[in-house]
Amino acid sequence: MIKRSLILRVCPNCKKEDLVRKDGVGKYCRSCRAKINSKNNIGQYIDIKGKKFGRLFVQEVYCLNKSYYWKCLCDCGNIVIVHGNKLRSGKTKSCGCITKAKNGLSKSPEYRSWKPMIQRCYDTKARSYKNYGARGIKVCDRWKESFFNFLEDMGNRPQGKSLDRIDPLGDYEPKNCRWATSKEQGNNKRNNLILEAFGRKQTLQQWADEYNMTWSLLRQRIMRENWTVEKALTYKRK
């Protein structure tokens, strides 16, 4: 005897589940005796009530136009009706609030720091990819997956500051990132010129700031005129 495979269907009359042969042969619902046909009836019923997909909590099922739709409660409080396939495939993760929030925040300074961070680490066509992604620098999974996680960890970007890695050889992650001024970032570059003078080591920019002189003048005295660091810092023209 040939064993025929069965699929789960829902009776269009009483909405109760029943098994139907995949070869299209119809049968009657054992509950209400209505005829069920695996070719003409609605698609396979997968119960996802009580599950959560993204920000949507599934509450109730509806049968509309021979398809299943689910009533979902979003984390933001809105109610939305979504096709089951879109929930299971991950195409729909919210009532639309995520997209609206992204559109509203896309012009924010925080988003303008987050987006380029992702691009220079993973977009091979990005101009600065060679200095980041090509060197193995990555973005932690928490930030890579969600801008909102990045915003939660870093907070609002202070005016005059931008995203900076504390360890220039490390990855983008909460413990290795800060909002920093351009001068702070300049002092933190991996190719900085470190100078030793008076028993201390500092970057060229830090020495220039300490002795109230320009970065270019100090560099010229040391690199072009071959002065010692001490002389370059303390020399005063008559």
In the 8-state DSSP scheme, what is residue 164? E
pTM tops 0.85, yes or no:
no
Please, what is the end-to-end C-alpha distance for the chain in angstroms? Answer: 111
- CB-based contact 9:17 (threshold 8 Å): yes
**Mean pLDDT of all residues in 112-118:** 92
Q: What is the dihedral of CA 155, 131, 218, 177, to 10 degrees?
A: 20
Question: What pLDDT, on a 0 to 100 scale, did the predictor assign at position 174?
Answer: 94
Taking phi first (over 0 means left), then psi (-120 to 50 degrees means alpha), and beta for anything else, what does residue 39 get? alpha
**Would you state the structure tokens that stand for residue 93, as one six-digit string?**
């993760």
Q: Which among 78, 14, 79 has a CA at the least distance from the CA of 41?
A: 14
List, for residues 144-195, the tens digit of each pLDDT value. Answer: 988 888 988 999 899 988 898 888 778 999 999 999 887 777 666 555 667 7
Query: Strand, coil or helix: what is 114?
Result: helix
Question: What pLDDT, on a 0 to 100 scale, did the predictor assign at position 66?
Answer: 64
**Mean pLDDT of all residues in 33-45:** 50
pLDDT at 6 over 60: no
* Residue that wins the pLDDT comparison between 95 and 117: 117
Which of these ranges, 2-16, 122-136, 172-186, 193-207, has the smallest mean pLDDT? 2-16
Question: What pLDDT, on a 0 to 100 scale, did the predictor assign at position 41?
Answer: 45
